[in-house]
């Protein structure tokens, strides 16, 4: 039986967050979620805030990401992410606090508030909370 795995890495500006041979990755592309398996055609895409799902056999590992880029080359996939947190390591209380801060800023409707930034912060916090719940 042929090997069904390929090399996969998630890299943030701080460190290599994850590196392993995997069988399937599902990631949040700019135009929707996409999946990668062994021998996938090479491509490069922008990532949006969402969930990265990694499959190794029957095991699934989940990461929250706030965007970045994904590159697929010959049996290797690399995600360069602004942030990436494994579901089991997400600080839910911190995510709730970030959600509350973002909601407060959006309700203030002050000219000093950067609305797109507050909306992005809210989206990131909600994403982290959702992914932490699927541990």
Whole-model pTM?
A: 0.89
Residue 85 has pLDDT above 90, yes or no: yes
Contact 101, 120 (CB under 8 A): no
Q: What is the pLDDT of residue 2?
A: 52
68 & 22 share domain: yes
20 & 62 share domain: yes
Residue 56 domain-assigned?
A: yes
**Which two structure tokens, joined as six digits, stand for 28?**
């949040």
Residue 99 domain-assigned?
A: yes
pLDDT band at 114, cuts 50/70/90? confident
Q: Which domain holds residue 99?
A: 91-132
96 & 83 share domain: no
100 & 50 share domain: no
78 & 104 share domain: no
Segment 112-129 mean pLDDT:
90
Question: What is the secondary structure of 42-89 as a DSSP string?
Answer: PEEEEEEEEEEEEEETTEEEEEEEEEEEEEEETTEEEEEES-EEEGGG
pLDDT band at 1, cuts 50/70/90? very low
Question: pLDDT per residue over 39-54, tens digit each?
Answer: 999 999 999 999 999 9
Contact 11, 81 (CB under 8 A): yes
Residue 1 domain-assigned?
A: no
How many independent structural domains does the chain possess?
A: 2
């Amino acid at each position: 039986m042929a090997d069904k795995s390929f090399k996969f890495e998630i890299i943030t500006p701080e460190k290599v967050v994850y590196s392993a041979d995997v069988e399937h990755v599902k990631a949040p592309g700019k135009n929707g979620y996409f999946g990668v398996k062994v021998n996938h055609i090479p491509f490069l895409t922008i990532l949006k805030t969402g969930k990265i799902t990694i499959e190794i056999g029957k095991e699934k590992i989940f990461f929250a990401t706030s965007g970045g880029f994904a590159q697929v080359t010959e049996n290797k996939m690399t995600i360069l992410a602004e942030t990436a947190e494994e579901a089991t390591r997400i600080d839910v209380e911190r995510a709730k606090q970030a959600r509350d801060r973002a909601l407060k800023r959006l309700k203030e409707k002050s000219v000093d508030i950067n609305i797109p930034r507050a909306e992005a912060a809210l989206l990131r916090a909600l994403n982290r909370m959702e992914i932490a719940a699927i541990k």
